[in-house]
C-alpha cells in the first residue's frame, strides 16, 4: 500500500478498496469543483399509490442486490428499532456485502456486529458509536470504514462520493405522499434533517412510519416528491430512549469550573455586545452548564443573542422562552422539551446539514456562529483534536457535527486535564478528527490556552483575568500528574478512514493488536 503524507504529517494510503484517496490539504484549501450527484428522473404517473403492506414488500420493490448501499438517519438515537429491523430483514433475504451508511449508530445497534461477522455488512460509511466501532477496531469489517462528520456526510452524498442505493427513513409522522417530519406521534424525535441528503440523492427512498397522518403533513422536512414507498410499522422504536426525558447539567465542580471559564471567555472576548451574537454548545454536562452561564450573563447585561444552534434541550429552550435568544436553529433534539418546543415555537427552527454544515455549498450557518463549545477525547499541543478513538486506540465515537462546528468564529474545546487516569492533553493525538488550525481555545480547569495563530483573540483578551497559559504548560500539568498514556499496539491493516468535511482524508485508524 503506497502511502502519502498529508498536510498534518499523517500517512494516508494513495488508494483503498480500489478508490483513490485525497490527502488532507488544510482546513480551507478545497474550493470545490466538479458537479453534484444527479439523481434519477422519475414520473408522477408511477407514484399513484406509494403505500406498501410490509417491509418485505418494500425491500422487494427496491430490488436490493448484494453490494448495494443502504442508509439510515439517527434521530431516533438509542431508541431506534429501524436499523436492526431492516438489516435483519436484509440478512434473512440472504443479501451480502452491503455498505451501511447511517448518519450515526448507538449502543442499541450492537446486533449489527453479527451481520458484520456473517458478511451481510461489508463496512460502514458514516458514523459508528460503541459496539460497532469496537468491531471495526478488531478488524471485523471486510472493507475499510469511512467516518464522516454530519456536514461531511451530506457533502459526500451530494457530491456522489457516497452513492446511496436505498434510503430507509424512519418518520415519526408521514402522509400518504411521503411528506415527513418528526414533530408528533409515539416516536416523535423533533428534528429529522439528517435524512435530507438521503431523500434528495438516493435512488430509492422508503419511508417507515408508525404514524400515518392525513395529507398534507406539514412541515414537510422530507418531501413526498422524493419518496418512493411508504410502509406502516407498529412502532419505530422505544420512545423512552428516542429522546431522554431530562438532560442533566454537570455536578462535578471541575466541570462546572470549566463551563464557567468558557462563558467568561466569551464575555471577555466582547462577543456578546456585538451585533448578531450567537453560540452553539452540545448536550454534554459541561455544555449544559455553559448554556446556564450564558443565560445568566445575557440576563444580567440585558442582551439578546441573535441565535443559538442546537442540539436542543431544556436549557436552550428555557433561554429561548425567556427571550434571551431570538432563535434556536436546531440540528437535533436531545430531550422531550426540545421536541415540544420545536413543534410549538415559531422561533425554534429545524435545520439540516445542508443549511448548517455542508462545506460544498455557497455558505452555511456554521460560519455564522460566534462561539462554539465542544468536548474532545484528546487534544494535542498543535490543537489537533481527536473525538473518534480513545488513547488506547479503540474506535468508539462518530464525528457528529464536530468538524463542521469548528468553522465558528471562536471554537472552544472544553476538557478536564484527565479522563479517568488518562491525560486529555497530549503531544500528538491518537487520531486527528479536526486540524488544530480550526481550534481556537482550549479551556481546562487548570487554565485556558489560546491557539497562538489567533492573535486577534489574544489581543481581545489582553485585560482578562482568566488564567491564560500556553497549551504546552497544560500538557505538562496533565502528564506530570498521570504520565504519558501508553501507546496502543496496532496491526498493519487500516480499518477506518477519518474523512475531513471537504472529502480529503485527515487520518486513518488501524486494527488493534489484541
Q: Is 506 in the site for a second copy (CB under 8 A)?
A: no
- 507's CB contacts (< 8 A; 6+ apart) are 8, 10, 12, 24, 431, 432, 433, 497, 498
Q: Which residue stretch of 1-9, 354-362, 436-444, 458-466 sits at the interface with a second copy (rule: CB under 8 A)?
A: 354-362
- 443's CB contacts (< 8 A; 6+ apart) are 258, 261, 262, 265, 412, 413, 414, 415
- Which of 7, 16, 25, 39: binder of a second copy (CB under 8 A)? 39
Contact 249, 315 (CB under 8 A): yes
> Half-sphere exposure of residue 309, counting CA atoms within 13 Å on the CB side?
31
Residue found by looking up cell 477506518 in the block: 496
Site string for a second copy, 239-268 (x = CB under 8 A): ------------------------------
Q: Quote the distance between the C-alpha of residue 191 and its chain's center.
A: 14
Residue found by looking up cell 483534536 in the block: 385
Q: Which residue stretch of 37-45, 56-64, 114-122, 426-434 sits at the interface with a second copy (rule: CB under 8 A)?
A: 37-45
Q: Measured between alpha carbons, how far is 416 from 406 in angstroms, rounded to an integer? A: 19
- Per-residue cell: 240: 423512552
Q: Is 275 in the site for a second copy (CB under 8 A)?
A: yes
> Half-sphere exposure of residue 207, counting CA atoms within 13 Å on the CB side?
32
> What DSSP state is assigned to residue 513?
P
Q: Is 50 in the site for a second copy (CB under 8 A)?
A: yes
Shortest distance in whole angstroms from residue 275 CB to a second copy? 8
Q: Quote the distance between the C-alpha of residue 404 and its chain's center.
A: 9
Residue 362's SS3 state is coil
Q: Count CB neighbours of 9 within 10 A.
A: 9
- Per-residue cell: 6: 498529508
Q: Is 368 in the site for a second copy (CB under 8 A)?
A: yes
- Which of 210, 378, 502, 507: binder of a second copy (CB under 8 A)? 502
Q: Is 346 in the site for a second copy (CB under 8 A)?
A: yes
- Which of 244, 254, 306, 428: binder of a second copy (CB under 8 A)? 306
Q: Which residue stretch of 47-55, 130-138, 316-324, 414-422 sits at the interface with a second copy (rule: CB under 8 A)?
A: 47-55
In the complex with a second copy, which residue's Cβ is closer, 50 or 109?
50
- Per-residue cell: 153: 456526510
In the complex with a second copy, which residue's Cβ is closer, 309 or 510?
309
Shortest distance in whole angstroms from residue 512 CB to a second copy? 35
Shortest distance in whole angstroms from residue 284 CB to a second copy? 25
Q: Is 32 in the site for a second copy (CB under 8 A)?
A: yes
Q: Which residue stretch of 122-130, 184-192, 361-369, 504-512 sits at the interface with a second copy (rule: CB under 8 A)?
A: 361-369
Q: What are phi and psi of 509, to 5 degrees?
A: -120, 130
Widest pairwise Cα distance in the chain: 70
DSSP strand pairing (51-52 vs 229-232)? parallel
Contact 311, 331 (CB under 8 A): yes
Helix axes 314-322, 285-301, angle to 10 degrees: 10
In the complex with a second copy, which residue's Cβ is closer, 329 or 376?
329
Shortest distance in whole angstroms from residue 358 CB to a second copy? 7
In the complex with a second copy, which residue's Cβ is closer, 260 or 350?
350
- Which of 126, 130, 182, 224: binder of a second copy (CB under 8 A)? 224
Q: Is 343 in the site for a second copy (CB under 8 A)?
A: no
Q: Is 323 in the site for a second copy (CB under 8 A)?
A: no
Q: What are phi and psi of 434, to 5 degrees?
A: -135, 150
> What DSSP state is assigned to residue 93?
T
Q: Is 37 in the site for a second copy (CB under 8 A)?
A: yes
Q: Which residue stretch of 39-47, 83-91, 260-268, 436-444 sits at the interface with a second copy (rule: CB under 8 A)?
A: 39-47
Q: Is 325 in the site for a second copy (CB under 8 A)?
A: no
Q: Is 53 in the site for a second copy (CB under 8 A)?
A: no
Shortest distance in whole angstroms from residue 365 CB to a second copy? 7
Cα dihedral 188→190→195→200 (10° resolution)? 110
* Residues lying near a second copy in the complex (CB under 8 A): 28, 30-48, 50, 158-159, 177-178, 205, 214-216, 218, 220, 223-228, 275-276, 306-307, 327, 329, 346, 349, 354-355, 358-368, 407, 502
Amino acid at each position: 500500500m503506497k502511502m502519502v503524507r498529508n498536510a498534518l504529517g499523517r500517512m494516508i494510503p494513495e488508494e483503498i478498496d480500489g478508490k483513490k484517496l485525497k490527502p488532507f490539504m488544510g482546513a480551507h484549501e478545497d474550493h470545490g469543483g466538479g458537479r453534484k450527484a444527479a439523481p434519477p428522473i422519475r414520473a408522477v404517473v408511477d407514484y399513484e399509490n406509494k403505500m406498501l403492506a410490509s417491509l418485505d414488500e418494500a425491500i422487494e420493490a427496491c430490488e436490493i442486490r448484494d453490494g448495494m448501499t443502504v442508509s439510515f438517519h439517527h434521530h431516533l438515537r438509542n431508541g431506534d428499532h429501524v436499523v436492526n429491523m431492516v438489516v435483519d430483514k436484509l440478512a434473512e433475504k440472504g443479501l451480502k456485502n452491503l455498505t451501511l451508511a447511517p448518519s450515526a449508530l448507538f449502543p442499541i445497534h450492537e446486533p449489527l456486529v453479527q451481520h458484520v461477522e456473517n458478511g451481510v455488512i461489508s463496512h460502514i460509511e458514516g458514523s459508528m458509536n460503541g459496539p460497532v466501532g469496537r468491531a471495526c477496531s478488531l478488524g471485523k469489517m471486510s472493507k475499510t470504514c469511512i467516518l464522516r462528520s454530519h456536514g461531511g456526510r451530506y457533502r459526500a452524498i451530494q457530491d456522489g462520493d457516497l452513492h446511496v442505493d436505498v434510503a430507509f427513513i424512519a418518520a415519526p409522522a408521514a402522509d400518504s405522499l411521503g411528506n415527513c417530519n418528526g414533530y408528533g406521534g409515539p416516536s416523535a424525535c423533533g428534528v429529522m434533517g439528517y435524512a435530507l441528503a438521503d431523500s434528495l440523492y438516493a435512488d430509492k427512498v422508503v419511508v417507515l412510519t408508525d404514524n400515518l397522518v392525513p395529507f398534507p403533513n406539514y412541515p414537510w422536512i422530507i418531501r413526498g416528491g422524493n419518496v418512493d414507498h411508504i410502509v406502516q410499522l407498529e412502532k419505530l422504536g422505544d420512545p423512552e430512549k428516542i429522546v431522554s426525558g431530562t438532560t442533566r447539567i454537570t455536578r462535578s465542580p471541575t466541570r462546572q469550573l470549566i463551563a464557567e471559564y468558557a462563558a467568561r471567555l466569551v464575555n471577555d472576548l466582547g462577543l456578546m455586545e456585538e451585533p448578531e451574537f450567537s453560540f452553539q454548545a452540545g448536550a454534554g454536562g459541561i455544555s449544559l452548564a455553559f448554556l446556564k452561564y450564558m443565560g445568566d450573563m445575557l440576563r444580567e447585561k440585558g442582551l439578546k443573542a441573535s441565535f443559538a444552534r442546537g442540539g436542543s434541550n431544556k436549557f436552550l429552550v428555557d433561554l429561548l422562552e425567556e427571550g434571551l435568544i431570538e432563535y434556536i436553529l436546531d440540528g437535533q433534539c436531545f430531550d422531550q422539551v426540545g421536541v415540544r418546543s420545536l413543534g410549538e415555537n415559531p422561533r425554534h427552527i429545524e435545520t439540516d446539514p445542508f443549511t448548517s454544515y455542508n462545506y460544498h455549498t455557497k455558505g452555511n450557518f456554521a460560519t455564522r456562529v460566534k462561539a462554539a463549545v465542544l468536548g474532545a477525547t484528546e487534544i494535542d499541543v498543535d490543537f489537533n483534536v481527536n473525538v473518534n478513538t480513545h488513547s488506547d486506540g479503540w474506535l468508539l465515537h462518530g464525528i457528529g457535527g464536530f468538524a463542521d462546528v469548528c468553522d465558528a468564529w471562536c471554537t472552544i474545546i472544553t476538557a478536564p486535564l484527565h479522563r479517568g487516569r488518562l491525560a486529555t492533553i497530549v503531544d500528538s493525538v491518537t487520531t486527528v478528527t479536526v486540524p488544530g488550525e480550526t481550534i481556537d481555545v482550549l479551556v481546562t480547569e487548570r487554565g485556558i490556552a489560546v491557539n497562538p495563530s489567533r492573535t486577534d483573540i489574544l489581543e481581545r483578551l489582553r485585560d482578562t483575568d482568566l488564567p491564560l497559559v500556553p497549551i504546552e504548560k497544560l500538557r505538562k500539568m496533565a502528564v506530570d500528574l498521570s504520565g504519558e498514556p501508553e501507546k496502543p499496539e496496532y496491526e498493519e491493516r487500516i480499518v477506518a478512514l477519518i474523512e475531513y468535511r471537504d472529502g480529503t482524508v485527515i487520518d486513518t485508524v488501524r486494527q488493534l493488536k489484541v
